[in-house]
Structure 1
Amino acid sequence: MTNKQKGIICILISAFSFALMNLFVQLAGDINPIQKSFFRNLIAFLFAAAILFREHDFSFQKKNLKYLILRSALGTIGILCNYYALGHLLLSDASMLGKLSPFVVLICSYIFLKEKMNGFQILSIIVAFIGSLFIIRPGFSLTEMLPALMGLVGAIAAGSAYTTVRYLGLRGERGPFIVFFFSAFSCIAVLPYIILNFEPMTIKQLGTLLLAGVAASGGQFGVTYAYKFAPARDISIYDYTQVIFAAVLGFVVFGELPDSLSLIGYIIICGISLLMYMYNMGYLKIRKDAKTP
């Protein structure tokens, strides 16, 4: 098995794990999103701590502290918004809005990391945003739009957080410590709210949230190893299978079926993602305008 094949398998495992995480979050029922995020991050914290403990190394580079805090703050906002969206949208709709984050990474990398964007990448961002409008369906009722807008804000925050992770990697910070710091930060950030506003849970709800945390950890480690085996340009398109997994799980468990407008949005976003993948791999050539002699 080649490294590329290993990377594809790992990213498929990651996509399925994150779809399961979203499913368990919905199955937990009407619990505050902040409380849901706490238990999700607690499990990720324990997994990351176990890895660092096995390596006997909890050290980090002090020069990276402010960027670790920034990554953690953005990641916490992203999770809270995503969990709110999951509580009010179809499983597949919430998952699809989350898949806008790679396009946010392009924008943030251009602004903050000075990584160049070409015309095709700019066009892909515009098209992806148009696709998201079919899911968000902007109108005059903020109450109806709010869950989808929260999903969009979550994707923006997540994309910004991923850009910070990339920057931390360029500055030599270790991946397990980034996960450990983020999980600890997120738990501590919401702990005062949890203490003051804790909502009693049944054993079933608690177990479901713990399963969401286990699935989230599987997704994080799956994507980490995926990009260890192969570059993003080779395998990132397979991450969009999460939407397919989410749609199947949503139908089997909840009987959910996305409407025609959502399906149009899925096709637009997945289609432009596929074209970007083909472009990055060199399968798609964009002809440049010839200069006039």
Structure 2
Amino acid sequence: MKINEKYKGIFYIILAAFGFAFMNLFVKLAGDLPAIEKSFFRNLVAVFFAFVVMKKEHIAFSIPKGSGKYIFFRSLFGTIGIFANFYAIGKLYIADASMLNKLSPFFAIIFSYFLLKEKIQPYQLICVITAFIGALFILRPGFDSVATLPAFIGMIGGMGAGLAYTNVRIASKHGAPGPLIVFCFSVFSCLCAVPFIIVDHQPFAWWQLASLLMAGLSATLGQFSITAAYTYAPASELSVYDYTQIVFAALLGIIFLGEVPDVISILGYLIICGAGIVMFLIRKKKEA
């Protein structure tokens, strides 16, 4: 992998973290609306922007040979991930929900072993186990039943994202352009949301609509950026920089929502981020 491609990947992963942190904030500001209804508007905006980008860059609305099933799985698991993540955001502090979603790089390592046949080193396995131990400090099974279920669903969202991003990399290797992957995922997610909205639609105020549209714009920035990031570099090169979203989310939560994470949650953040950083540093040392 060329050095300039690696730095492009780092830039895009940090930009994605910035976009997704703001997405979480606007989703929270949208109030007590169903998570699936929120996700519909988030992805509807992404459909529009993906369509415009594809037209501008003259990208064909056809799936390259060999990439179809990977785009489908990216869309399926990405949809599961976003539904779960939006539910968690509505019930937890946005920093907690963001942290659980950032388990996705660890899930990506696990799934890369099965899907890409990438070997998992012993130190990576130890770091993955450590990260899931850190997640228990946020999940708090048996200690806070009100928060445990949303936190567990938030972790499921991280798993869905990990599977989705693994399939992004495979699809891009088969020649699928980033905007096409974003477009297919966004359309798929909107279609999945429609039946739920028909059954359980809740009217919303203008400020809620404005928040959802801003969430969609922020998510579109994040979606295009993270798709570009995983196109330029593998998850193992980028995972450590993905944790900047936690910093962004925590600051936004404190400034706009008055959400100050407690000591137990912060300890969980440190364990998970520490595992990611250690894994990154050991890998770089082995490469050197």
TM-score by length of 1: 0.90
Q: Distance in 1 between matches of 2:266 and 2:24?
A: 19
Query: Contact 2:43/2:187 (CA < 8 Å) preserved in 1?
Result: yes
Show the counterpart of 2:54.
52
In the other structure, the counterpart of 2:249 is 246
Q: Percent identity?
A: 50
Q: Deviations over 1:154-196 (max 9, x none)?
A: 1111111112222222222222111111100111111122123
Write the deviation string for residues 26-52 of structure 1: whole angstroms up to 9, x where unpaired.
Answer: 000000001000000001111111111
Q: How does 1:148-167 map to 2 (within 5 A)?
A: 148-167=151-170
Cα RMSD for the two superposed structures:
2.2
- Structure 2 residue aligned with 1:66: 69
* AA in 1 matched with 2:33: I
Residue 101 (structure 2) pairs with residue 98 (structure 1): yes
Shift of 1:230: 5.7
| Secondary structure, aligned partner of 1:173 | coil
Q: Are residues 1:31 and 2:36 paired?
A: no
C-alpha distance in structure 2 between counterparts of 1:280 and 1:140, whole Å: 36
Q: Is the 8 A contact 2:108 2:235 kept in 1?
A: no
- What amino acid maps onto 2:219 in structure 1? A
Structure 1 unaligned blocks of 5 or more: 286-293
Q: 2-side partners of 1:264 and 1:96: how far apart?
A: 11
Moved over 6 A (4+): none
Q: What amino acid is aligned across from residue 102 of structure 2 in structure 1?
A: K
Which of 177, 188, 192 aligns to 1:185? It is: 188
Which TM-score applies when normalising by structure 2? 0.92
Q: Does 1:208 align with 2:211?
A: yes
- Equivalent residue for 1:135? 138
What is aligned with 1:14?
Answer: 16
2:169–2:231 CA contact under 8 A, matched in 1: no
Q: Is the 8 A contact 1:278 1:284 kept in 2?
A: no
For residues 224 and 69 of structure 1, do their structure 2 counterparts lie closer, same or farther at Cα, with a shift above 3 Å needed?
Answer: closer
Deviation of the 1:229 alpha carbon: 5.7
Structure 1's 61 and 13: CA in aligned 2 closer, same or farther, altered over 3 A? closer
> Are the structure 2 counterparts of residues 173 and 216 from structure 1 closer, same or farther at C-alpha, using a change threshold of 3 Å?
same
After TM superposition, give the deviation of residue 144 of structure 1 in Å. Answer: 3.6
Partners of 1:181 and 1:98 in 2: CA distance:
22
> Is 1:279 matched with 2:250?
no
Residue 57 of structure 1 and its aligned partner are, at CA, apart by 1.5
2:239 aligned partner, one-letter code: S
Q: Is the 8 A contact 1:33 1:83 kept in 2?
A: yes
